[in-house]
Amino acid sequence: MILDTTTITSKTGKEFQLVSIGPDDAERFLDFMHQVSCDTHFMSRYGDEVKQDDAAIQAEKTRLKTLQDSDIQGMFSIIDGDRIIGNIAVRQVCNHRKTAHRCNIGLGIRKEYHGFGLGTILVDHAINFAKKSGYKIMELGVLSDNIIALGLYNKMGFTEWGRLPEAFILDDGTPIDEITMYRKL
């Protein structure tokens, strides 16, 4: 889905553009994902697993085109200059009729922009988009040691409904549980 670009203002008073991204943004999206995945262990991949070669760019273009072409799914990014500095994905869990009312979200912000209120703006934007798209439930997974994200999701009205023990095992052997949360829309 392509929504009109809007101007948002962070807690620091700085203005950014909030845009819908698509296949033409594949390279800068992978650059963003690479940094966020290097910054923390909270993303699903390590930074070195986010490839930026031609094959990875082509695969990302395909994925972004699918999301852009969908009326009920989207990738929404915050832009500073030419760079993507934050992103939230809204995807349908499954398009079968019994579960078509459920969407999930995934988000990240580059480390140097944390604490500016941008995560809050992205989740709020995703909730509004999901409501307009007809979803009834929004879901997400978050690592149990991701205190800031847990605080953000609690603030935005999400409720914990499950926990998968040792969902992640870091390279150094540290196991981390994943908490699953939902919010009625």
Ligand X SMILES: CC(C)(COP(=O)(O)OP(=O)(O)OC[C@H]1O[C@@H](n2cnc3c(N)ncnc32)[C@H](O)[C@@H]1OP(=O)(O)O)[C@@H](O)C(=O)NCCC(=O)NCCS
Binding site for ligand X (CB under 6 A): 36, 40, 42-43, 107-109, 114-120, 142, 146-149, 151-152, 155
Q: At what angle do helices 26-39 and 54-69 cross, to 10 degrees?
A: 100
**Distance of closest approach, residue 103 Cβ to ligand X, in angstroms:** 15
**Distance of closest approach, residue 117 Cβ to ligand X, in angstroms:** 4
Closer Cβ to ligand X, 39 or 51, answer by number: 39
Closer Cβ to ligand X, 69 or 112, answer by number: 112
Instruction: Outline where 3-157 has alpha helix (H).
Output: 26-39, 54-69, 118-132, 147-155
**Distance of closest approach, residue 112 Cβ to ligand X, in angstroms:** 11
Q: At what angle do helices 118-132 and 147-155 cross, to 10 degrees?
A: 50
Residue tagged 């009920």 (tokens): 72
Closer Cβ to ligand X, 1 or 85, answer by number: 85
Closer Cβ to ligand X, 43 or 90, answer by number: 43
Nearest CA to 88 among 155, 167, 168, 29?
29
